[in-house]
Structure 1
Amino acid sequence: MEFKSSDDFLKNESFVNYCLGIDEQDIDFWKNYAVQHPEQLGLMNEAADLLKDLQLLLLAEKLKPEAVSNLRVHLRPKRREYTIFSWKYTAAAAAVLFLLASAVFLFYPSHPIPNPPELARYSTHQYVYEAGANERKSINLWDGSFVILDKGAKLVIDSSFGQSDRKMYLSGIAYFKVAKDRQHPFKVYTGKYVTTAVGTAFKLQTDQTLKKLQVELEEGKVIVEKKIGNSWNLVATLHPKESISLDDQVHLPLHQKFYDKDFSQWKIQEVVFQNAPMKEVLLQLEIYYNVKITVEDSVVMRETFNGKFRHDALPSVMEMVCFSLNKQFKFIDSNHIIIY
């Protein structure tokens, strides 16, 4: 096959295998090809970069059959209105989806896969999330966990996320609502410290310059370790409503209780939704306000919502959400709401 453009490479299954590091024979072939055809390196690198950029998108798709079907439709050569840019991404997405779908069915022929991070094992780069200087950022991770990044905070997710553990690196302040997965501990690295949880909710406040860390545990259980030399040493085990302050200048950590009200006020200081699916909106409200929200009419979940709240009480937020849905709500008890 003659390769005149990067999309020619993307349509080649052997090249996709090479980029994802799946087949040793394909890897050897394309390494030799690159040596023998140095004039093609530019196109090969361009195609490889497109595949990398597509990985997070494909994680969100989770190999849905309808996604594969849609890509097949787009790939039919019946129209010429596609731009070069869109065609490259479509070709890359199709190649990767078909390849990964085949791999999944080959290794798991009779067992459904409950929302795994399918592409985590093929990931070759990190994912970086940053909150702006004047606005917080909410993140739904592909393992089902939820993160609030405070203003100016930065979260880097390791390329090995979901393999043996769920590893990431934080600078600034963030809140984590961790999806339960005992086989893959959730690890947040902050300088010399690492906070590990399985399924829990906690807030981290780190100052890399001053080498300080504060951990506040809302629910569940976490352990905090510090790196000394080449080993990690246990500093503390936290239980619900406990916090700990760590400082390189202080030998004994400050271990104490914290106030629910202050913690909750921090979470709801700013809540922003932009064309967000209603399922996501209600899930986040449950996390922000520590409540359960039940919807009687499933059609509601097809709607989207726009809104921005600052220190708003939950009844006020629910009034705006239900007004947009032409629905009503009521409290069953202090922690349970029904939309009807």
Structure 2
Amino acid sequence: MNTDLLHKYFKGEATEQEENLIVEWTESSADNKKLYLKERMLFDMALFSDTSASAKGRKNRYLYYMAPVIAIAAMVALVFFIGLPQFNQPEPQLSQTIHIPAGQRAQMELPDGSTVWLNSQTTLTYDATFGKKDRKVVLNGEAYFEVAHNKEIPFYVQTENIKVQVTGTKFDVCSYNGSNSFIARLIEGSINLFANNAEEKPLNSLTKGKYFSMENGKYKTGELSSNNALAWIEGIYYFDDVPFNELLNKIALYYNYKITVKDPATLEGYRCTGKFKDLDGIEHILKVIQKDHPFKYHIDNEHNKITIE
């Protein structure tokens, strides 16, 4: 298979006939599939390197530059073959999933020119046809988007409970699967928020400087007090008068630790405010909090476990 044609396909520029040809070739043998995966990985790694290099010259961007090894590890493409084409008009059903490991972040450019920053323990998935007929990504985690304007093809971010619709804007979405929580912060433009499977009437429509949050099924909206909530893009975790339990849940997620509180009732009144660099590590955060709130902890780094007393 011609590598130029594969790259054209990866960019979303291939014709329908070329797409069908590539899918048929990929599925025809295990060796072809292996070559496809290898070429896709090399293409994404090169794309990430080019995007990171160009981003260094931009001003006023929230971006934390990671070492090349970390960047490559974070951007390894996982390409899944969901189904085989059928009959005389096969349709490619390939999708790409990017997963960011604990304690890392990454920035990438989508095929439509949109830019996205991905936080620790975040997974982003989109179809190979992204940007041609639709622009939909599936998010599990936290991401900041700068969406390329396109009135003809709206941009969608699908999370576990809520779908975000936008044509061109800058916003942050945080929704980790299983957390039963969601928050969207709008920096520029406007977005519509829909409950899953209910697109006729939006839950809310945000304008610049507003946020929308959901916690255990309860909705809340308000004005953004600052951009500190986006400090994670620069490697800083910011907490503003949050319950201690909420802070523990977040750092457990960011650093991939299991935290157990022996007696949760004793910590119910604890609230925390502060900024922490992610490179400081989870134990440093606990030691800083100890100065204001008396508690003991035992950390098992070998098994990534922490017990709070």
Q: TM-score normalized by structure 1?
A: 0.46
User: Is the helix fraction higher in 1 or 2?
Assistant: 1
Higher Rg of the two aligned structures: 1
User: Is the strand fraction higher in 1 or 2?
Assistant: 2
Greater relative contact order (Cα < 8 A, sep 6+): 2
Q: TM-score normalized by structure 2?
A: 0.50
